[in-house]
Structure 1
Amino acid sequence: MQNSSLPTVKSKGIYLLPNLLTTAGLFSGFYAVIASMNGRFEAAAIAIFVAMIFDGLDGRMARLTNTQSAFGAEYDSMADMVSFGMAPALIAYNWALQDIGKIGWLAAFIYCAGAALRLARFNTQVGIADKRYFQGLASPAAAAIVAGSVWVGQDYDIAGKDVSWLFALITAVTGLLMVSNFRYASFKEIDWRGRVNFIVMLLVVAVFVVVSVDPALILCCLFYIYACSGPVMTFRHVDKLKVSDVIGDTDIEDEPQTSQSHSEPRDK
């Protein structure tokens, strides 16, 4: 006779669907590195944007299907470091920065280190930071700036070696923006499940049409504008600019929010 009082063994495993999307994003980032090593820079840049799509889907899917987990959150961060940290840095180096020696790989390293620090800071502030804003440029947006610039260069037959110094500056500054204290809109307060006016849907269609005219140039310009919005937003909301408004540690005084683990879009 079996003893019914024995404790029930909790089943172990990982949720398939959200982690499958995370793996797809990781694969896109890895593919981007391989493509850039083979000189296929346009494909590499597009792969970064594909990784951004999967990164936006995995957290939302976990929330919708109630499959949040600590494993998923950590796996997501590791995948993002590859897709939005290492991959853009290597694409930048292979496309333009290797021709200027140490300055080139140092610019790529600044970007890579900035992405790592940005992800680490984001993970430590989950649940206490103001959800309306990102502190520093989110790593997917930073990756889009680097990848978008390469994509535009390929579309307009611009050789990377001809813009090496400019691109080194762009890469390094993008890395520094990730670890800055500039406030960027997170768009997390938008109610994606709410009702909207029919005109709004027409505007959404119009946006897709405009982007399709020249995806590389338009997407690149949009992310450059977003990168510039952080300093502009910060300068407009402070009476007297201090060093702590730009870089350094800041005290977070917002009320603690519910802890999350892979339950929200983790746009780092």
Structure 2
Amino acid sequence: MTYLLPHIFTTLNIFFGFYAIVKVIDGDFFKASLGIFLAIFFDIFDGRIARLFKIQSRFGLEYDSLCDLVSFGIAPALLIYQFSLKGFNKIGWSASFLYATCVALRLARFNVKNLFKKSYFEGLPSPAGAGILASSVLFLLKTDIDPIYKTYGLLILTYLVAYLLVSPIQYPSFKEFKIKKAQAFYFLVFFILGLTIIASNPSFYLFIIFSFYLLLGPFLFFKNNRKNFFKNFTKKGTFKS
């Protein structure tokens, strides 16, 4: 039973991903976004359960990737297309197609490199990519905002997320994040506090959280490489008078 537990969570991942697709077809973008977030929830825990019980396997990795492609590739691509990009005709569906393809490429690269024990992700993780698109839809559904942000803003965002998925920019994975026994109580308090804050306005706070993580990778990349960046410009004589 222990061996099946991670696969059960992975199956719930694709279940809610498929649920999101059905709701997109029905035109219920709120429930479609909710389905994607539930898929993210179960995707987070399937890998952690496998590591906890030391039952990681090649089958589990491949199954997880195929489910991720549905939940975090196809479902968000259809959601963002039907919600906003449909009005752009060929440009709209090609942007959605590019996003879905970049998710597939990112998952394939992850499997080939087999980054089980890395403390970082190479490129934006596909659940985070799906999360930023779904949270953007939720935010725009609940906010009286200029229609241009629902069209051109989401078009630009889709291209940006697609690039970050296959980019070499590193994102923290938090896989090696461990809580000491003495810190468990305080972590629980902060977790409940954070959950309460998010529950007060989920469409806003989920958008803020995923946007922060989206920008965290480029920020850390620039921070870690700024010395080399400025050094290269200096060598080329950019700053010479």
Question: 1:48-80 CA deviation, whole Å, 9 max, x = no partner?
Answer: 010011111112223334443322221111000
Query: What does 1:25-40 align with in structure 2 at a 5 Å threshold?
Result: 25-40=13-28
Q: Which residue in the other structure is 1:164 paired with? A: 151
1:90 & 1:218 partners in 2: Cα distance? Answer: 23
1:181 & 1:241 partners in 2: Cα distance? Answer: 16
Secondary structure (helix, strand or coil) at the match of 2:96 reads helix
More helix by share: 2
| Unaligned stretches of 5+ residues in structure 2 | 231-241
Say which of 54, 62, 70 aligns to 2:50: 62
2:122 & 2:149 partners in 1: Cα distance? Answer: 34
**Equivalent residue letter for 2:165:** M
2:5 & 2:145 partners in 1: Cα distance? Answer: 40
1:212 & 1:59 partners in 2: Cα distance? Answer: 25
2:19 & 2:47 partners in 1: Cα distance? Answer: 22
1:179 & 1:60 partners in 2: Cα distance? Answer: 24
Question: 1:67-123 CA deviation, whole Å, 9 max, x = no partner?
Answer: 433222211110000000111001000111111111111111121111111111111
Given that 1:30 and 1:82 are in contact with CA atoms closer than 8 Å, whether structure 2 keeps it comes out as: yes
Q: Structure 1 residues 78 and 155 mapped into 2: Cα distance closer, same or farther (>3 Å)?
A: same
Q: Structure 1 residues 160 and 41 mapped into 2: Cα distance closer, same or farther (>3 Å)?
A: farther
Secondary structure (helix, strand or coil) at the match of 1:190 reads coil
Question: 1:139-191 CA deviation, whole Å, 9 max, x = no partner?
Answer: 10010000001111222256978621211111111111111111111112211
Given that 2:120 and 2:173 are in contact with CA atoms closer than 8 Å, whether structure 1 keeps it comes out as: yes
Q: How many residues align?
A: 228
1:150 equivalent in alignment to 2:137 = yes
1:106 & 1:143 partners in 2: Cα distance? Answer: 17
Q: Structure 1 residues 28 and 157 mapped into 2: Cα distance closer, same or farther (>3 Å)?
A: farther
Q: Which residue in the other structure is 1:16 paired with? A: 4
Instruction: Provide the aligned C-alpha RMSD in A.
Output: 2.3
1:107 & 1:26 partners in 2: Cα distance? Answer: 23
1:179 equivalent in alignment to 2:166 = yes
Q: Structure 1 residues 15 and 146 mapped into 2: Cα distance closer, same or farther (>3 Å)?
A: same
**Equivalent residue letter for 2:217:** G
**Equivalent residue letter for 2:28:** R
TM-score (norm 1): 0.79
Secondary structure (helix, strand or coil) at the match of 1:61 reads helix
**Equivalent residue letter for 1:49:** F
Secondary structure (helix, strand or coil) at the match of 1:187 reads coil
**Equivalent residue letter for 2:78:** L
**Equivalent residue letter for 1:105:** W
Q: Which residue in the other structure is 1:249 paired with? A: none
Q: Which residue in the other structure is 1:121 paired with? A: 109
Q: Which residue in the other structure is 2:220 paired with? A: 233
1:224 equivalent in alignment to 2:204 = no
| Unaligned stretches of 5+ residues in structure 1 | 1-13, 243-268
**Equivalent residue letter for 1:164:** T
Q: Which residue in the other structure is 2:29 paired with? A: 41
Q: Structure 1 residues 60 and 189 mapped into 2: Cα distance closer, same or farther (>3 Å)?
A: closer
1:80 equivalent in alignment to 2:68 = yes
1:54 & 1:103 partners in 2: Cα distance? Answer: 33
Given that 1:118 and 1:178 are in contact with CA atoms closer than 8 Å, whether structure 2 keeps it comes out as: yes
1:94 & 1:114 partners in 2: Cα distance? Answer: 19
Q: Structure 1 residues 174 and 65 mapped into 2: Cα distance closer, same or farther (>3 Å)?
A: same
Q: Structure 1 residues 119 and 193 mapped into 2: Cα distance closer, same or farther (>3 Å)?
A: farther
**Equivalent residue letter for 1:148:** S
Q: Which residue in the other structure is 1:105 paired with? A: 93
**Equivalent residue letter for 1:138:** P
Higher alpha-carbon Rg: 1
TM-score (norm 2): 0.87
Given that 2:62 and 2:111 are in contact with CA atoms closer than 8 Å, whether structure 1 keeps it comes out as: no
Q: Which residue in the other structure is 1:95 paired with? A: 83
